[in-house]
């Protein structure tokens, strides 16, 4: 389960397009930040996606991806032209292809490596959908099948694309939009697949074109209800609309860390869970197996887009760091797996995150103010740095941006180690039995240290 949101035009503080996403997956499903340079490819070359092969194109763009460790595609990413995409699992009445096709995450990577605008990315995804379909399991540990919705943005505009099998509809974003594991497009859209309405009438999902509503006709109501998509999408939309005209990166950070309207961080506990939150925390049972394992915000300034990434799980316990495609990524450690590795940024933060879960209220209070202060420093320094890059030589800019990103990651890692020591000095609380069982199982599976 995930939450993806976008704000454009007058909805943002500076008129720039702003994209944000939490990627929710199983607690041990580590997600890597990966920089992929642009490349040229030979005639007849084939590309190996997660479950199949498709022809490669002559040239692909440079990209920065947030990628589950086990798949070819990505949950979210940005290319050198500022095209930015994130996807959501959606559950529909159309049958799932359990043998092949492209994963929703494969569509993201293919569009990022092959297109230079949001509209071109939308067209490519729908073309590939008509040729190859979408299918295959989207889970690393068990069969899990779904269709996909996407937010696709560039520095000039943003689109929402929602699919059901090979059928789809798309709307251009006018102000703010969020998606959360359920179809949202209704009786009006800007683009759609052929026979979208006729197919629903033939299936008996509506009586006529006048009665047609994409989400109502094509959604699987039971699975959509289990995903709590309506509550979460309503919550993120409410938060965005409340800040319309003032939405900026700090606002996006607060939305991705949101735990719902009825609680404050000082009194909130992750064990019970609540349906109307954006920051996802795993618990016990088949409907509580998702955890926010990576977060990304993209400020799409046409001159120099800035990415704000955690590179870790649980944005409420982590810290956002700035990244630019030109500057690349610092060393994040060895390749990630579902097993604990103290030499990786993602698993280093899990020591802090899982310690906080033992007394969320008390232990977050230990370092939240210090985390916020360090993050505010990153924001201020990054804004100043971007302003200074106007007119600088490409090589100099690349070195300056890369050095600053590496410095921020280094400071964040040092702070994470310090905060872990501090929070472990705060007492643990007695958590519900089944919650402890769920996290005990996750820790054993990851060979996480006691």
What is the secondary structure of 92-118 as a DSSP string?
A: BSSPPBSS-SB-HHHHHHHHHHH-SSH
Residue-averaged pLDDT of the chain: 95
Q: What is the mean pLDDT of residues 83-112?
A: 95
Asked if pLDDT for residue 164 goes beyond 80, the answer is: yes
Tell me, yes or no, if the pTM score tops 0.95.
yes
- Span 327-345, mean pLDDT? 96
User: Phi/psi at 158 (nearest 5 deg)?
Assistant: -145, 150
Quick one: what percent of the chain has pLDDT higher than 90?
88
The length of the chain, given as a count of residues: 450
Q: How confident is the model at residue 266 (pLDDT cuts 50, 70, 90)?
A: low
Give the pair of three-digit tokens for residue 372: 């916020």
Instruction: Count Cβ atoms within 10 A of the Cβ of residue 225 and give its class: 0-12 exposed, 13-18 middle, 19 or more buried.
Output: middle
- Alpha helix segments (H runs only) across 289-359: 345-356
pLDDT digits (tens, 9 = 90+) for 377-423: 999 999 999 999 988 888 999 999 999 999 999 999 999 999 999 99
**Helix axis angle, 433-446 relative to 345-356, nearest 10°?**
160
pLDDT band for position 197 (cuts 50, 70, 90): very high
Residue 264 has what pLDDT? 57
CA distance 219 to 93: 6
Q: Is 285 exposed, middle or buried (0-12, 13-18, 19+ CB in 10 A)?
A: exposed
What are 353's two structure tokens?
């995150």
- Burial label for 331, CB within 10 Å (0-12, 13-18, 19+), is exposed
Q: Could you tell me if 298 and 18 are in contact, meaning their C-beta atoms sit under 8 angstroms apart?
A: yes
Q: How many angstroms separate the CA atoms of 431 and 165, rounded? A: 41
Which residues, at least 6 apart from 337, have a Cβ–Cβ distance to it below 8 Å? 30, 69
Amino acid 306: pLDDT = 98
pLDDT higher than threshold 90 for residue 450: no
Tell me what pLDDT residue 179 has: 97
Res 268: pLDDT: 80
Cβ atoms of 234 and 216 closer than 8 Å: no
**Edge-to-edge strands, sheet with 176-179:** 176-179, 3-7, 17-25, 291-300, 306-309, 321-323
Residue 80 tokens read as 């050198």
Residue 195 has pLDDT above 60, yes or no: yes
Spatial CA neighbour of 296 closest among 90, 49, 48, 112: 112
User: What backbone phi and psi angles, to 5 degrees, belong to 124?
Assistant: -65, -45
Catalytic choice (2, 217, 316, 408): 2
pLDDT band at 285 (very low <50, low <70, confident <90, very high): confident
Say which DSSP state 330 is in: -
Q: Which of the two residues, 226 and 77, has the higher pLDDT score?
A: 77
Instruction: Report, as an integer, the average pLDDT of 258-273.
Output: 78
Res 55: pLDDT: 96
Please report the pLDDT score of residue 390 as a whole number: 84
Average pLDDT of the residues in 108-126: 98
Higher pLDDT, 99 or 219: 219
Supply the pLDDT for residue 272: 83
Asked whether the predicted pLDDT for residue 301 surpasses 90, the reply is yes
User: At 265, is the pLDDT very low, low, confident or very high (cuts 50, 70, 90)?
Assistant: low
Per-residue pLDDT band for 109 (boundaries 50, 70, 90) equals very high
206 is catalytic: no
- Please determine, for residue 326, whether its predicted confidence score (pLDDT) is greater than 90: yes
Q: Are 294 and 271 in contact (CB under 8 A)?
A: no
């Amino acid at each position: 389960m995930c939450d993806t949101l976008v704000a454009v035009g007058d909805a943002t503080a500076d008129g720039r397009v702003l994209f944000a996403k939490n990627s929710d997956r199983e607690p041990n499903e580590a997600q890597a930040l990966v920089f992929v340079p642009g490349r040229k490819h030979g005639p007849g070359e084939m590309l190996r996606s997660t479950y199949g092969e498709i022809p490669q194109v002559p040239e692909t763009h440079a990209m920065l991806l947030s990628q589950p460790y086990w798949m070819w595609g990505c949950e979210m990413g940005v290319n050198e032209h500022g095209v930015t995409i994130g996807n959501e699992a959606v559950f529909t009445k159309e049958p799932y292809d359990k043998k092949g096709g492209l994963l929703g995450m494969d569509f993201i990577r293919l569009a990022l490596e092959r297109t230079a605008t949001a509209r071109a990315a939308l067209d490519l995804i729908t073309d590939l959908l008509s040729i190859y379909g979408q299918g295959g399991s989207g889970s690393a540990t068990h069969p899990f099948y779904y269709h996909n919705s996407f937010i696709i943005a560039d520095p000039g505009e943003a689109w929402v694309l929602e699919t059901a099998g090979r059928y789809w509809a798309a709307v251009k974003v006018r102000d703010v939009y969020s998606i959360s594991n359920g179809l949202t497009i209704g009786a009006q859209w800007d683009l759609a697949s052929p026979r979208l309405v006729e197919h629903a009438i033939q299936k008996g999902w509506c009586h006529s074109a006048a009665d047609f509503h994409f989400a109502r006709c094509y959604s699987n109501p039971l699975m959509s209800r289990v995903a709590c998509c309506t509550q979460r999408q309503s919550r993120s939309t409410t938060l965005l609309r409340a800040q319309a005209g003032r939405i900026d990166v700090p606002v996006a950070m607060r939305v991705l860390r949101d735990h719902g309207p009825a609680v404050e961080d000082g009194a909130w506990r992750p064990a019970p869970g609540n349906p109307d939150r954006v920051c996802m925390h795993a618990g016990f049972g088949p409907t509580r197996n998702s955890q926010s394992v990576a977060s990304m915000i993209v400020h799409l300034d046409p001159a120099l887009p800035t990415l704000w990434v955690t590179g870790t799980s649980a944005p409420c316990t982590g810290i956002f760091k700035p990244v630019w495609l030109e500057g690349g990524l610092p060393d994040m450690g060895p390749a990630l797996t579902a097993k604990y590795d103290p030499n990786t940024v993602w698993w280093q933060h899990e020591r802090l995150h899982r310690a906080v879960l033992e007394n969320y209220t008390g232990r977050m209070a230990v370092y939240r103010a210090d985390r916020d202060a360090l993050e505010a420093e990153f924001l201020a320094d990054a804004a100043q740095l971007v302003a200074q890059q106007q007119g600088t030589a490409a090589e100099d800019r690349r070195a300056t941006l890369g050095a600053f990103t590496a410095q921020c990651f280094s400071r964040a890692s040092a702070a994470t180690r310090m905060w872990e020591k501090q929070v472990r000095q705060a007492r643990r609380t007695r958590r519900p039995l089944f919650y402890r069982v769920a996290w005990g199982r996750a820790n054993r599976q990851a060979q996480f240290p006691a």
